[in-house]
Amino acid sequence: MPSLDVTLPEVSLETRTRLARELTEAFADATHFERELLDVFFHEYPPGSAAHGGVMVTGAVRACHLAIACPRISRATKQQVGASLSAVFARVTGWGVAPVIHIQEFPYDNVVVDGQLLSDAFEACRQRRFYYPLED
């Protein structure tokens, strides 16, 4: 159910493989989601096809973005996810750059799997709106 879209300059298959594995581990450790639930999608761009602040991205300047779609999580979990994913990304790429991360949350009534809302398809989802209770 949760997914992670990674937008970054073109990198090697080895780097994508390491990012997929280590970002999944970091996300699962922070959220306690099963690792098998997370899908990771890479969106790479060649030189001259991205800009940051109105300036084309070249050389050492990197424009990187992570978008996480997941059920609602607590603020403390978001903080841990952000710190963990940023550290993994900077270390694995070797760029020393932390990506911008957007956390896009949804209730189970906003996800369709096999033609059914998750809240209709799975008893566990029907009983709870979110994986985590919201803080007051």
The encoded tokens of residue 107 equal 């209730």
Q: Is the dihedral of CA 109, 111, 114, 119 positive or negative?
A: negative
For residue 61, the model assigns a pLDDT of: 58
Mean pLDDT of the chain: 87
Distance between CA atoms of residues 32 and 9, nearest Å:
30
Beta strands in 29-131 (DSSP E): 39-45, 51-52, 55-56, 65-71, 100-106, 112-113, 116-117
pLDDT digits (tens, 9 = 90+) for 25-80: 999 999 998 899 899 999 999 888 888 888 887 765 567 999 999 988 889 999 99
For residue 135, the model assigns a pLDDT of: 58
Q: Which amino acid is at 54?
A: G
Q: CATH code for 3-108?
A: 3.30.429.10
Q: Residue 109: how many CB atoms within 10 A of its CB?
A: 12
135 secondary structure, DSSP code: P
The encoded tokens of residue 120 equal 């209709």
Q: What is the model's pTM? A: 0.85
Per-domain boundaries in the chain: 3-108
Q: Tell me the mean pLDDT in the region 105-120.
A: 85
